[in-house]
Amino acid sequence: MSITNPLTLVIGATGNVGRHVVRTLAGRGLPVRALARDPERARATLPAGVDVAAGDLTRPETLAPALDGVGRVFLLWPSFDPDHLPAVAAALATAPRHVVYLSAMNVSDDRPAAENGIWGAVEDALRHSGVRWTMLRAGGFASNTLDWAAQAHTGVIRAPYGRAGRSLIHERDLADVAVVALTDPDRHAGAVHLLTGPETITQAEQARQIGEAIGRPVRWDEQPPDEALAELAERFGDAEFAAAGLAYWATLADQPEPVVDTVEQLTGRPARRFRDWAADHAADFLPAAGVRSVADQYVALMRAGRLYALDALMSPDLVRVAPMETGGEPVERRGMAEVVENADRLLADVEIHAVDVDGPFLATGRFAVRFRFDQTHTPTGARTSTTKLSLYTVADGRIVREEVFYYDAPQAVQ
């Protein structure tokens, strides 16, 4: 059945790839709708006039209004959690639709779906839903090197496996291919497209080309794998996932990732090189962007409740200045050991039910985050909420100072 309704819903519309899909479709005058958990925030980043619908893949019941009248969908699965996949796939299949899914090249049709990770699970759910589909199996994203933003401006990137050869792809090339499939669904129905950048380039050479883009030398400092594993396991909260990633990078030193020309075949022009991507993102690797990278990671971990992973962002010599109690005089604590010991003492009689995180708010060398806590004082059973602002100073990719300010005294929760 031909998909005639041209309205496209973009899921992941504010992400690295989705925002380019939205802008390209809107720039061509094609009808496009963005799905967003926070529509107001999304409208601030998307082109004027783009329809934004509230919805959340973790709450499949919210998708029906966003899908109303939609004939085509760009899908980016936002997590490693497959729990809501059947319900989401069923929602997509409630009307004749074509779904273009951004998958991963490591999915293999020769393996059971269970062995293909979350990407294979999403593909399998789409195939069994009855919806029409196109799979875009992408290699490594060039944008993943933004993880080095906090280091690059210092002139040194310290990470493992500098000899690993990667065929990284620009997010704009992924978006361009997605638009091709979305605007010609009959031609691409049932197609599986493998996508890479136009060249294989080692990680050490990527660092050098980032240096060219920002106008200062950047060298590679080879990090021992066991040290990298500890950092990644803490950051991702999943030691097995971190180990699998490192094991894959290790193989790329002798068996670099392949290069395919699918981008050129589908768009009519060669894929963008990594140096093109680095030039496009040069500002993201300058000192202010280092603060942005740390701030974004910090807020993401806080919102995910992964407080144990925050230590990786903190300097061992962290200085924390905070009142001992609301309205009290500030007290300075020095060093992570003293800061953690004091925090454990203060929270010993507190059960935190929820934390609302607002920010980050960026400034030169610093960022701020506003927190609102819903908590119970366990000895008395008193449940209260209170709001505080924390101001963080960043140096060399780590938080070196935190200053805490309380907005109000704790208020009773009704």
Distance CA 127, CA 86 (A): 11
pLDDT at 168: 97
pLDDT tens, N- to C-terminus, the chain (414 residues): 667 779 999 999 999 999 999 999 999 999 999 999 889 888 888 988 899 999 999 999 999 999 999 999 999 998 888 889 999 999 999 999 999 999 999 899 988 888 888 999 999 999 999 999 999 999 999 999 998 988 888 899 999 999 999 999 999 999 999 999 999 999 999 999 999 999 999 999 999 999 999 999 999 999 999 999 988 887 777 788 889 889 999 999 999 999 999 999 999 999 999 999 999 998 888 776 778 888 888 888 888 777 766 777 888 888 999 876 545 577 888 888 788 777 777 777 888 888 888 889 988 789 999 988 888 888 888 888 888 899 999 887 789 999 988 876 555 555
Are the CB atoms for 146 and 293 separated by under 8 Å? yes
pLDDT at 341: 79
Residue ranges covered by each domain of the chain: 8-287, 298-412
Residue type, 381: G
pLDDT at 1: 61
Rounded to whole angstroms, the maximal C-alpha distance in the chain is 70
Are the CB atoms for 20 and 84 separated by under 8 Å? no
Pairing label, strands 98-104, 72-75: parallel
Domains 8-287 and 298-412 share a fold: no
pLDDT at 335: 85
CATH superfamily of the domain spanning 8-287: NAD(P)-binding Rossmann-like Domain (3.40.50.720)
Q: CB 65: neighbour CB atoms within 10 A?
A: 10
Residues 6 or more apart from 314 whose CB is under 8 A from it?
336, 398, 399
Closest CA relative to residue 66, chosen from 51, 49, 53: 53
One DSSP character per residue, 219-254 reads EEEEPPHHHHHHHHHHHHT-HHHHHHHHHHHHHTTT
Quote the DSSP letter at residue 56.
Answer: B
Q: Which residues of 87-233 form beta strands (DSSP E)? A: 98-104, 132-138, 156-159, 165-166, 192-195, 201-202, 219-222
What are the Cα distances from residue 385, in Å, to 4, 228, 300, 379? 51, 39, 22, 16
Instruction: Report whether CATH 3.10.450.50 matches the domain 298-412.
Output: yes
Closest CA relative to residue 151, chosen from 211, 195, 198, 237: 211
Quote the DSSP letter at residue 271.
Answer: P
Pairing label, strands 398-406, 366-377: unpaired
Distance CA 270, CA 173 (A): 9
Distance CA 375, CA 383 (A): 6
Distance CA 341, CA 187 (A): 62
Residues 6 or more apart from 318 whose CB is under 8 A from it?
334, 335, 336, 339, 399, 400, 401, 402
Distance CA 405, CA 364 (A): 19
Pairing label, strands 98-104, 32-36: unpaired
Q: CB 348: neighbour CB atoms within 10 A?
A: 9
pLDDT at 130: 94
